[in-house]
Chains A and B, each alone.
Chain A
């Protein structure tokens, strides 16, 4: 079992109602699912908990059998470096590094940098002519491809994509998502795609729906 969630609950300080209420689900290795829900339903929060970017108030979040909840900052940082990769809607590339350095950054942090793999990724994602450019010189679609390459370069066990095509037009979004799905499938990693698009959710073999912090 790659991912195991049991009764995960999360409440943000200053709010009364929990953002997540007793969420439980599993994901096998190589498994893919779409996580849908309306704005404020807790989709991104759930993704952040799984990615070690935040901690749950109650429950278990386990990746490869390791419960993330008791991990400290150092432990969760190690998780983010090597095991889990997160793709954000806003791309969040490192502005001071060029495309090549951005792609290699996370893999180098994890000590698993493979230049050959980077070459393959850049070719598949159509970035070969842009390696020396900086993020501000790229279009939205190009930036998102760089973000995908960066996430996949260290061969993470689990890929979390938080509305990765939210800032792209429909045609580009479809192309990027198809590419992402195929690349993840090639590595045997798990994929959780957060989206509020029914059309994109339909591209994934499994679907979970969040409503007011509860899995419907």
Chain B
């Protein structure tokens, strides 16, 4: 039983850790491939100021003016990200693609051309006439080809999206403003590349994996501790017979190492299964949130399976270290019987440690800065809460004993108090699992509630359309002026505010914004002041990261700064945002014309509006998105985001339930000497079994009672500290009592189920076995 407990606990813990690391490793490999493909984050880029395409002639002009630039075109072809490069001028060639493995540069550049991609990506592309070449180093869902072929396949002849600027440029080249004033050069993005953007997401996953491992480690610690306690008499006997202590310790250590390796291998295998199951949801989440493409299939990368084995071995070493040390220091003439391992008194040191950690968490909550401080606070909160559980339980049970009148009730509370040390590790695991559930579910539900309302605010227009060019934009305006209730142009440009990349939007003064938008803080009559061009609105991310406040000045264009009038929530947006009036925007960015519009209309007339736009503005359906579809898409991304954490939540709770079951089964044999006297005095086995079942439920209920405030503290920490540090925006905290009740009921059911089998075994224990407790040596 102990062997199974040890192997199962370690394997489960390793599985959850390895699964998370496998997902992270696969994602990071995809980011690296994407970055290598286009040198993202390595090279400056030249783009059109208005966000449109760059004519090929402009590229030629720049080359003639001495600029070392390489053209890139990019688009979606049958759902695949198609990138067109010019291999002769692209810095780094074709990125990770190796030209010496069957790729023929001549064939690449001429004739029908070639397309390089991963196997699954090539499978999604229909026959274009170009040769398909397998290249596993290309980023997931991405295909590389010559720019000429890409222009043809995307229907964008003569167009370029951007120019990659080589790091080394001729000193004598003409300035960009002289050659192409409509273009702008941007430095390599700092903090905006995919790997950094997704750092927080992966950090969250890692933190969850670590939490799950910690829960599993409790099981391992318990099993190892009990096993070593029961070995004390054997060790004493062997030493008395002359066996060297060092050899005994070494043998036991080797035994543990072998078991850890076996459990680790099983855990890594299970982790692969878990990761493979969760990876599609993770990939969809990352694509939706960050535009990051992650391979949908898992590879066996040494980074994660080696880390899984290492953590299994390391975790076992930590769990066994104390027990081995205790055995090594045991006097030769110590008592033959195992110390009352499951009947010991609570360590005062544990309560002190709990107080110290909770104090640290409180200190960091008030004065901590940065994401690491946030996670440290979380760790201190959870571990401190877990360590506080046994002494708190003991005290509550002591009160219950004093208050009870009937003899059986009095014995029940006293006996339950005595079981706390033996069950403490399993109960701590349950506490952590429940607190994590409360915390994360509160965060997710608060997010969902806020997000739903947020979408209603921000997606107020019934139809969103995107024009291909200014001519089409004018056609859209003409149709909308006749058939829509209002036209809201979506004007935007890239700016830098306080050294941070941001977007500036020009908003038309309309009731759509006045009636729907809500502010976190704002000056009185904010919309009127904004309409007069006397200030700007900023999103929460910019407000926090740039250290802004109401009234502080923000640059909005050449030589113009305006005060902050209001701060609005902008959940899910990784970068800062500034909003000015449409007129002010156009005056600062005259070269930018609106190509995207929000159209207001009676919902009943949206379909006819679409038909008009299709027929009269030649607008394809793919360029029109209605509000309901957009909301559904946003919510779908949101739901998938938290599918992963929900899954990990459930798994962690299951591990805790397993921990309780293993503890109860392991302790069952040790319980007989405690139960046999009570049975002999007149309680039936059935009643004792029933009381054991009630005991498990009571302990789970008391644990749940502590898990609730701990979980709410965790939710606050996630929403008010970690989320703010990671994403720059803060969500309001809502409470969901029904959810907590459901979780509590689930925990009670889990505890009852875990206790059912041991209780059944007790109720069917033969009297002879109970009497065996009373037998003595003659």
Interface residues of A (CB under 8 A from B): 12-13, 38-40, 44, 48, 51, 53-55, 73-74, 77-78, 80-82, 86, 88-90, 92-97, 101, 104-106, 108-110, 136, 150, 162-163, 166-167, 196
Contact = CB atoms under 8 A, between A and B. Distances in A.
Interface string B746-778: 000000000000000000000110110111101
Determine the interface band of chain B, counting residues with CB < 8 A from chain A: 20 to 34
A108 B682 contact: no
B771 A74 contact: no
A95 B776 contact: no
B418 A106 contact: no
Nearest to B767: A54
Nearest to A12: B768
A40 B778 contact: yes
Contacts of B631: none
Contacts of A101: 410-411, 414
Given A12-B768, A53-B771, A73 B778 contact: no
A74 B687 CA distance: 10
Given A40-B778, A73-B684, A162-B774, A92 B676 contact: yes
B677 A109 contact: no
Contacts of B417: 96
Nearest to A55: B767
Contact of A109 (B408, B770, B776): B408
Interface in B413-432: 414-415, 417-418
Interface in B237-266: none
Interface string B661-698: 00000000000011011101111111100000000000
A13 B768 CA distance: 10
A92 B774 contact: yes
B684 A97 contact: no
B407 interface: yes
The 9 closest A-B pairs by CB, nearest first: A81-B682, A39-B778, A108-B407, A96-B414, A92-B677, A96-B418, A80-B682, A96-B415, A77-B684
Contacts of B680: 51, 53, 80, 86, 88, 92
B410 A90 contact: no
Contact of A88 (B340, B684, B774): B774
Given A81-B681, A82-B682, A92-B676, 12 more contacts: A12-B768, A40-B778, A53-B771, A89-B774, A92-B680, A92-B773, A94-B677, A96-B411, A101-B411, A108-B406, A109-B683, A136-B340
Interface string B319-348: 000000000000000000000100100000
A196 B680 CA distance: 23
Nearest to B774: A88
A47 to B, nearest CB: 10
A192 to B, nearest CB: 15
Contacts, number: 92
A15 B500 CA distance: 85
B468 to A, nearest CB: 80
A95 B418 contact: yes
Nearest to B414: A96
A110 B682 contact: yes
Contacts of B684: 73-74, 77
Nearest to A107: B407
28 contacts: A38-B778, A39-B778, A40-B778, A53-B680, A53-B770, A73-B684, A73-B685, A82-B682, A86-B680, A88-B677, A88-B774, A90-B774, A90-B776, A92-B676, A92-B677, A92-B773, A94-B415, A95-B343, A96-B411, A96-B414, A96-B674, A97-B410, A97-B411, A101-B410, A104-B407, A106-B682, A109-B681, A163-B776
Interface of B: 340, 343, 406-408, 410-411, 414-415, 417-418, 673-674, 676-678, 680-687, 767-768, 770-771, 773-776, 778
Contacts of B406: 108
A135 to B, nearest CB: 10
Contacts of B407: 104-105, 108-109
A78 B682 contact: yes
B307 to A, nearest CB: 44
Nearest to A147: B677
A28 to B, nearest CB: 25
A96 B421 CA distance: 13
Contacts of B774: 44, 88-90, 92, 162
B574 to A, nearest CB: 57
A89 B674 contact: no
A89 B776 contact: yes
A16 to B, nearest CB: 16
A158 to B, nearest CB: 14
A162 to B, nearest CB: 7
B624 to A, nearest CB: 73
Contacts of A53: 680, 767, 770-771
Contacts of B410: 97, 101
A38 to B, nearest CB: 8
A77 B686 CA distance: 11
B5 to A, nearest CB: 25
A41 B677 CA distance: 24
A48 B686 CA distance: 19
B433 to A, nearest CB: 28
A12 B772 CA distance: 12
Nearest to A151: B681
A44 B772 CA distance: 11
Nearest to A86: B680
Contacts of A54: 767-768, 771
A42 to B, nearest CB: 12
A54 B770 CA distance: 10
A167 B774 CA distance: 13
A51 to B, nearest CB: 8
Contacts of B776: 89-90, 163, 166-167
A95 B670 CA distance: 13
A74 B682 CA distance: 9
A26 B406 CA distance: 37
A105 B778 contact: no
Contacts of A167: 776
A55 B771 CA distance: 12
A83 B407 CA distance: 18
A94 B678 contact: yes
B402 to A, nearest CB: 11
B411 A94 contact: yes
A44 B775 contact: yes
A82 B681 CA distance: 9
B677 A93 contact: yes
Contacts of B408: 109
Contacts of A162: 774
Contacts of B778: 38-40, 196
A14 to B, nearest CB: 10
A92 B774 CA distance: 8
Contacts of B770: 53
A88 to B, nearest CB: 5
Contacts of A48: 767, 771
A95 B411 contact: no
Contacts of B677: 88, 92-94
Contacts of A13: 768
